[in-house]
């Protein structure tokens, strides 16, 4: 059997990070099995459709370093891969279901449906369902309403007192009583299909062999099984994977806690390879201590059997930062600098160093690289290399013990530094000379060097002090020390 998996995002907003994780799993499974991964755009929810969202979700998938074998921009034997371009196909199968008695026309008004809902809620029923009112209409009544142009939808005719079951590839055997299943609308009055009809028709016609999707879609599977059976089609393998939750929370990922859109993580300065590595572990574990995975390694090791059998997994933002810091540190300085500039340009970030040359900026980046967790950290960590704004006098005095001693410390360092030739202004020579000042005047290391650090950088925590002084240069260092 040729393995075919798919992802079918809906362009109703920015692509969710959870969707990217599900896409990654489908992609990896298809690639491991030598199969095809298909991208399909489910744009039939016209009320929630957001202009430009399709183009943005296609772009963000590419920005994460992923692609597809069939779909928009690529084509394939089952085109079109955009549902709004396949309406005639859905209508054909909706009519077929009506003809076979597995679906029926419903002419109920919004007012009647709302009243039905309210009455059932007043009865404190566990869930509200359509009451099959229009199924009781005679064929003549149905014909009359159709002839008069009465607005209608087509509903699934769910049989009573039965059970539908399937073997979930992740969760095991799942059974649904049909008495709990609503007569789902399949075709809306505007001629667009609902998700349930479109996904079944498309998955069958596109020969999808495995549907791997989020846990939230599990209840819908019962309706899909009934549709496959009614249409005489083979039900493909299904697997439902955990949703994402915030650390310490019991509910799904929320934008109240931070970014949730896939593009936001990129614009926040996370590297695509770090994001993918992090997403790999959100519901899957190799069963080893290995944490750092390239995409190729993940494809090789991925298996559905190692997906967690739960409904929610923790989206640990600190762990994501750890992954990102690892990938930042393991890039060469020039690779990281190129990535930094590309990120700044792509997301319109005003990067420190625009008025400096690449050599200077690379020297700065080299010093702060190990402290960066995101690309966005660069500006915050390097401000004193570019825009010196002075220092907090009280902080400097605290380390020097008195204002008089602060002044004396700075004067003594200035005297020594003034005599250094520009060619000798290196971290190594500055370190040696500065320790000689300590011996000459009896200063302890903390009071002298922390005072110097605060005055030169305006910060109390920085990369090695003499490395900083070498980069900013003799004149800039002396100007800062003299300023006090």
Alpha carbon distances (Å) from 476 to 363, 389, 418: 16, 13, 12
Q: Distance (Å, rounded) from C-alpha 484 to C-alpha 476?
A: 14
With b for 16 or more beta-carbon neighbours within 10 A and e for fewer, the 68-98 pattern comes to bbbbbeeebebeebbbbebbebbbebbeebb
Q: Give yes or no for a contact between 32 and 43, defined as CB atoms under 8 angstroms apart.
A: no
Neighbours of 2 (CB within 10 A): 10
- The pLDDT, as a whole number, for residue 484 is 74
Residue 212 phi, psi (nearest 5):
-110, 115
Token pair belonging to 70: 């069939």
H or E element: which one contains 395?
helix 393-400
Tokens of 369: 């690289």
Identify the burial level of 168 via C-beta atoms within 10 angstroms of its C-beta, where 0-12 means exposed, 13-18 middle and 19 or more buried. Answer: middle
pLDDT number for residue 255: 72
Residue 42 is predicted with a pLDDT of 96
For the chain, the average pLDDT equals 96
CA atoms within 13 A on the CB side of 220: 18
Residue written as token pair 């420190």:
352
Q: How confident is the model at residue 83 (pLDDT cuts 50, 70, 90)?
A: very high
Q: What is the mean pLDDT of residues 95-109?
A: 98
Res. 483: pLDDT tops 90: no
Residue 372 pLDDT grade (very low, low, confident, very high; cuts 50, 70, 90): very high
d(C-alpha 274, C-alpha 263), whole Å: 14
Residue 36 among the catalytic residues: no
Within 194-271, residue ranges assigned H as helices are 195-205, 218-231, 262-267
**Percentage of residues in the chain having pLDDT higher than 90:** 94
Beta strands in 247-376 (DSSP E): 312-315
Residue among 255, 346, 407, 432 flagged as catalytic: 255
Tokens of 454: 């605060």
Q: Confirm if 482 and 443 have CB atoms less than 8 A apart.
A: no
């Amino acid at each position: 059997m040729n393995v075919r998996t798919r992802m079918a995002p809906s362009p109703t907003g920015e692509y969710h990070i959870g969707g990217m994780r599900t896409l990654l799993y489908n992609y990896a499974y298809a690639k491991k099995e030598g199969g095809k991964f298909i991208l399909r755009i489910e744009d039939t929810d016209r009320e929630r459709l957001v202009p430009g969202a399709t183009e943005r979700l296609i772009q963000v998938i590419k920005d994460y370093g992923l692609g597809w074998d069939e779909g928009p921009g690529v084509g394939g034997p089952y085109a079109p891969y955009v549902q709004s371009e396949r309406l005639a196909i859905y209508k054909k199968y909706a009519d077929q279901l009506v003809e076979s008695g597995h679906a029926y026309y419903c002419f109920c008004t919004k007012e009647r449906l709302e009243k039905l809902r309210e009455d059932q809620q007043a009865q404190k029923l566990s869930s509200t369902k359509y009451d099959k009112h229009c199924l009781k209409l005679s064929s003549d009544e149905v014909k009359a309403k159709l002839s008069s142009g009465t607005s209608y939808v087509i509903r699934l005719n769910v049989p009573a007192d039965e059970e539908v079951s399937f073997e979930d590839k992740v969760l095991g055997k799942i059974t649904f009583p049909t008495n709990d299943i609503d007569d789902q609308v399949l075709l809306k009055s505007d001629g667009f299909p609902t998700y349930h009809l479109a996904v079944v028709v498309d998955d069958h016609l596109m020969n999808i062999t495995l549907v791997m999707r989020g846990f939230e879609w599990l209840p819908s599977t019962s309706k899909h099984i009934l549709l496959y059976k009614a249409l005489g089609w083979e039900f493909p393998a299904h697997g439902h994977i955990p949703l994402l939750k915030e650390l310490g929370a019991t509910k799904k990922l929320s934008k109240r806690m931070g970014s949730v859109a896939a593009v936001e993580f990129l614009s926040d300065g996370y590297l695509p390879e770090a994001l993918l590595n992090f997403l790999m572990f959100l519901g899957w574990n190799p069963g080893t201590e290995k944490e750092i995975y390239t995409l190729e390694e993940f494809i090789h090791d991925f298996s559905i059997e190692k997906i967690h059998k739960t409904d929610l997994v923790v989206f640990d933002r600190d762990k994501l930062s750890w992954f990102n810091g690892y990938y930042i540190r393991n890039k060469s300085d020039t690779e990281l600098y190129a990535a930094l500039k590309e990120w700044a340009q792509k997301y319109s970030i005003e990067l420190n160093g625009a008025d400096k040359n690449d050599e200077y900026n690379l020297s700065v980046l080299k010093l702060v690289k190990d402290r960066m967790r995101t690309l966005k950290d660069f500006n915050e960590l390097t401000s004193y290399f570019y825009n010196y704004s002075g220092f907090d006098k009280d902080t400097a005095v605290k380390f020097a013990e008195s204002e008089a001693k602060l002044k004396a410390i700075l004067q003594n360092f200035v005297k020594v530094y003034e005599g250094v030739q520009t060619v000798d202004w290196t971290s190594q020579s500055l370190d040696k000379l500065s320790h000689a000042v300590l011996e000459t005047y009896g200063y302890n290391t903390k009071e002298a060097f922390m005072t110097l650090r605060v005055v030169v950088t305006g910060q109390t925590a920085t990369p090695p002090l003499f490395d900083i002084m070498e980069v900013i240069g003799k004149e800039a260092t002396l100007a800062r020390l003299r300023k006090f």
